[in-house]
């Protein structure tokens, strides 16, 4: 193991905190965490960008190594669950918030936070998925558990050109659904259709104020936007449908009524990826590995060095990132 090694660390100061690359030593890492991981890749999620730019209250203690995702190889383990040489990943589970995260060349991680990278995915592919794609899978599984089945009626995905949205469109298409991609970037139609979108819905169409019950349009939805967009998707979902709500890229408020719930049997499903219990995490990752087309996963993502993270964080917060960004922690 390298000593010292590089990590991106947030340090508290009088103004709040600042983030910079620092040299850390193995003895700096959390001895209570059972597994030492040599990290190959992390990723950039909306939440990482909020932490990097201090625009959201993500970090719960200082100093903090940022990065809510990581993938790499086990170097040492005092847990029976993991052996040196195994390929592992972690998404959420407090990384980058309460526990040191993935923007580092090495990290000690609690065994409970880790899962094996399922074949045939590589560490880089696991991070192409990352928290965003894992959340997309949780949304799809939530819809399926609520008896939303493939049919001629479309499932609308909002914020479709973003990380969660792109992977949700792709996963839905691969599982036989017809995903309608709602986007503010209609110029990305070709990209979204290549992921499996059956139609493109301009963002404005779902963002304007609408009635509490509207014409039945969707079999369900995966919503990453929140606010009026979610209220409209909920009001347009057909009898017996469901909407999985996981994001707030457009707003955290929700102005709606009980009508779709009690007159159309529509379910509003909350999805949180951070504290997903281990059995559900293992199930979701195995479904991801089974469902994704790895070539399309490649087309959804690009890999960038950790040295570019500040610029990339501004881009994702301004909605300029298409799909997913993998972070090479050695770059």
Q: Output 54 or 248, the one with its CB closest to ligand NAP.
A: 248
Q: Is 163 in the site for ligand NAP (CB under 6 A)?
A: yes
What's the CA gap between 302 and 50, in Å, rounded? 20
Lookup: tokens for 189: 């139609």
> Which region among 9-17, 71-79, 101-109, 154-162 touches ligand NAP (by CB under 6 A)?
154-162
Binding to ligand NAP (CB under 6 A) within 172-191 occurs at 183-185
Nearest to 16 by CA among 70, 69, 53, 68: 53
Q: For residues 65 and 269, which CB has a smaller minimum distance to ligand NAP in the complex?
A: 269
Closest distance between ligand NAP and the C-beta of residue 149, in Å? 24
Binding segment (CB under 6 A) for ligand NAP, from list 31-39, 45-53, 104-112, 212-220: 45-53
The residue written with tokens 């799809």 in the block is 140
Question: Which of 108, 128, 170, 203: binder of ligand NAP (CB under 6 A)?
Answer: 203
> Does residue 141 belong to the site contacting ligand NAP (CB under 6 A)?
no
End-to-end CA distance of the chain: 17
The one-character DSSP state at 306 is: G
Beta bridge partners of 99: 95
Cα atoms in the 13 Å half-sphere on the side-chain side of 178:
10
> At which residue do the structure tokens 């493109």 appear?
200
Q: Is 218 near ligand NAP (CB under 6 A)?
A: no
Residue 96 makes contact with ligand NAP by CB under 6 A:
no
Is residue 321 a contact point for ligand NAP (CB under 6 A)?
Answer: yes
For ligand NAP, the closer CB: 35 or 269:
269
User: Which residue, 136, 108, 115, is CA-closest to 30?
Assistant: 108
CA diameter of the chain: 63
DSSP 165-221: HHHHHHHHHHTT--EEEEES-GGGHHHHHHHT-SEEEEHHHHHS---SS----EEEE
Out of 35, 66, 132, 235, the only residue in the binding site for ligand NAP (CB under 6 A) is 132
Report the nearest approach of ligand NAP to the CB of residue 329 (Å).
Answer: 19
Q: Is 316 in the site for ligand NAP (CB under 6 A)?
A: yes
Q: Which stretch binds ligand NAP (CB under 6 A): 22-30, 268-276, 289-297, 299-307?
A: 268-276
Select the residue whose beta carbon is closest to ligand NAP and give its number: 162
Instruction: Indicate whether 281 belongs to the interface with ligand NAP (CB under 6 A).
Output: no
Contact call for residue 237 and ligand NAP (CB under 6 A):
no
């Amino acid at each position: 193991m390298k000593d010292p090694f590089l990590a991106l660390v947030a340090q508290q100061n009088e103004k709040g905190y600042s983030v910079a690359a620092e040299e850390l030593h193995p003895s700096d890492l959390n001895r209570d965490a059972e597994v030492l991981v040599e990290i190959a890749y992390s990723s950039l999620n909306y939440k990482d960008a909020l932490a990097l730019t201090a625009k959201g209250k993500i970090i719960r203690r200082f100093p903090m190594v940022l990065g809510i995702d990581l993938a790499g190889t086990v170097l040492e383990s005092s847990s029976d669950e993991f052996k040196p040489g195994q390929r592992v990943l972690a998404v959420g589970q407090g990384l980058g918030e309460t526990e040191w995260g993935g923007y580092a060349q090495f990290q000690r991680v609690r065994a409970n936070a880790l899962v094996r990278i399922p074949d045939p995915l590589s560490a880089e592919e696991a991070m192409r998925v990352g928290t965003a794609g894992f959340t997309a899978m949780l949304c799809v599984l939530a819809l399926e558990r609520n008896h939303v089945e493939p049919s001629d009626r479309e499932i609308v995905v909002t914020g479709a050109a973003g990380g969660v949205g792109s992977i949700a469109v792709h996963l839905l298409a691969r599982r036989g659904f017809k995903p309608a991609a709602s986007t503010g970037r209609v110029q990305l139609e070709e990209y979204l259709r290549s992921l499996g979108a059956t139609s493109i819905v301009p963002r404005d169409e779902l963002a304007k104020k609408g009635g509490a019950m509207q014409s039945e349009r969707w079999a369900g939805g995966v919503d990453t936007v929140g606010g009026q967009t979610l209220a409209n998707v909920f009001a347009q979902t057909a009898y017996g449908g469901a909407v999985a709500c996981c994001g707030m890229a457009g707003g955290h408020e929700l102005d709606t009524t009980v009508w779709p719930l009690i007159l159309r049997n529509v379910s509003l499903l909350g999805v949180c990826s951070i504290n997903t219990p281990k059995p559900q995490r293992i199930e979701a990752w195995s479904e991801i590995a089974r469902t994704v087309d790895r070539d399309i996963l490649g087309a959804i993502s690009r890999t960038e060095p950790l040295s570019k993270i500040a610029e990339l964080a501004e881009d994702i917060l301004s909605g300029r990132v298409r799909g997913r960004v993998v972070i090479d922690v050695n770059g």
